[in-house]
């Protein structure tokens, strides 16, 4: 059984709670501000405990949290080109907050909200209501995220319903370092992503529309790849790309999508999801100015993200998986993070 307890973490718009989920092998802390995963602590092969995710010690850091450490982002994660989309011949305009594009739900997305909470078996359920017009999005949306910890697997279940057709794309933006948060880089991590194709992007990080095979490219991560050497070969600052886990129109079956190993500690992270894509991001825009837990300076390539989600800008690209949620439908996706040692 998983031990579940809550305590007060501080006050933002209202009280912010911290929930702790503890199994025999893993301890996860979640705060109600931004539905944030604050920490994931587990033991390496030598029995040493480490916190594997970046973040802050106190509430003050999360009140700004410009890099979305651990947060659930929405209403639409990732980028929407030029902050515009059309539904039923009506154009909607969003805040531009990432170059010429809209990113992660806007200026005050789901990561800035204080979610309501309730205990469930082995975990916690968090809810947030986003009114029509919130950050420019149509329709009243009720979102629910449930975190459960069973043995060494953290499961994240997303649900949402709306009264007006709206785009939706929810994900968790945890930054991992399997050597422990505060370690200087991820160059000694070995990464596998089970994807046959990926989405090339333009110079503003919007997909060009091409779905490209990873075969004979630097994006072929189907067999374990040492990140340090691959990042040296890769043009640009690093990975910030969607890897396609299925074809548009395929049913949302749960599939293993990624495995990351840190040979030095033996720590392993395996990710499975029902989502059609995973955004692999190597913290290219961290620059050492943010001070996190224990005063650690988070620098470029000091962590990686595996953001399971729909393909970026899908609302504007008809041949991508459907990004719209309609009245009477329920948005449902699951992602599982499993921790082990080798």
Catalytic residue positions, numbered:
173, 307
Give rounded-to-5 percent helix, strand, coil for the chain. 10, 45, 50
- Length in residues, the chain: 342
Q: 212 is written with which tokens?
A: 């490209």
The two three-digit tokens of residue 196, written as one number: 């046959």
CA-CA distance, 125 to 92, in Å (whole number)? 31
Task: HSE, CB side, 13 Å, CA atoms: give it for residue 264.
Answer: 11
Euclidean distance between CA atoms 264 and 48, whole angstroms:
12
- The answer to whether residues 173 and 162 touch, using CB atoms and an 8 Å cutoff, is no
Residues near 110 by beta carbon (within 8 Å), at least 6 away in sequence: 34, 35, 71, 72, 73, 74, 75, 128, 130, 143, 170
Bridge partners of 76?
169
């Amino acid at each position: 059984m998983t031990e579940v307890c809550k305590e007060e973490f501080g006050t933002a718009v209202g009280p912010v709670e911290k929930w702790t989920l503890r199994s025999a092998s893993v301890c996860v802390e979640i705060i109600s501000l931004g539905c944030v995963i604050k920490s994931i602590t587990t033991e390496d092969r030598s029995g040493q405990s480490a916190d594997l995710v970046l973040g802050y010690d106190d509430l003050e850091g999360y009140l700004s949290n410009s890099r979305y450490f651990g947060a659930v982002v929405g209403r639409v994660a990732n980028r929407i080109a030029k902050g515009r989309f059309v539904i039923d011949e009506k154009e909607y305009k969003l805040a531009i907050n990432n170059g010429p594009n809209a990113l992660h739900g806007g200026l005050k997305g789901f990561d800035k909200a204080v979610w309501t909470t309730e205990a469930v078996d082995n975990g916690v359920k968090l809810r947030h209501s986003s009114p029509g017009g919130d950050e420019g999005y149509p329709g009243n949306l009720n979102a629910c995220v449930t975190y459960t910890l069973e043995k060494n697997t953290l499961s994240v279940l997303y649900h949402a319903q709306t009264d007006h057709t709206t785009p939706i794309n929810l994900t968790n933006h945890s930054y991992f370092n399997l050597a422990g948060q505060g370690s200087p880089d991820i160059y000694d991590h070995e990464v596998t992503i089970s994807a046959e194709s990926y989405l090339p992007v333009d110079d503003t990080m919007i997909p060009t529309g091409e779905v490209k095979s990873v075969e004979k490219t630097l994006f072929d991560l189907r067999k374990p790849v040492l990140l340090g050497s691959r990042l040296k070969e890769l043009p640009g600052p690093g990975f910030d790309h969607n890897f396609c886990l299925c074809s548009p129109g395929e049913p949302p079956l749960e599939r293993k999508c990624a495995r990351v190993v840190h040979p030095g500690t033996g720590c392993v992270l395996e990710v499975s999801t029902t989502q059609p894509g995973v955004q692999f991001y190597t913290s290219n825009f961290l620059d050492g100015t943010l001070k996190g837990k224990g005063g650690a300076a988070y620098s470029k390539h000091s962590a990686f993200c595996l953001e399971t989600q729909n393909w970026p800008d899908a609302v504007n690209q008809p041949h991508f998986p459907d990004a719209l949620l309609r009245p009477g439908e329920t948005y449902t996706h699951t992602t599982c993070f499993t921790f082990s040692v080798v």
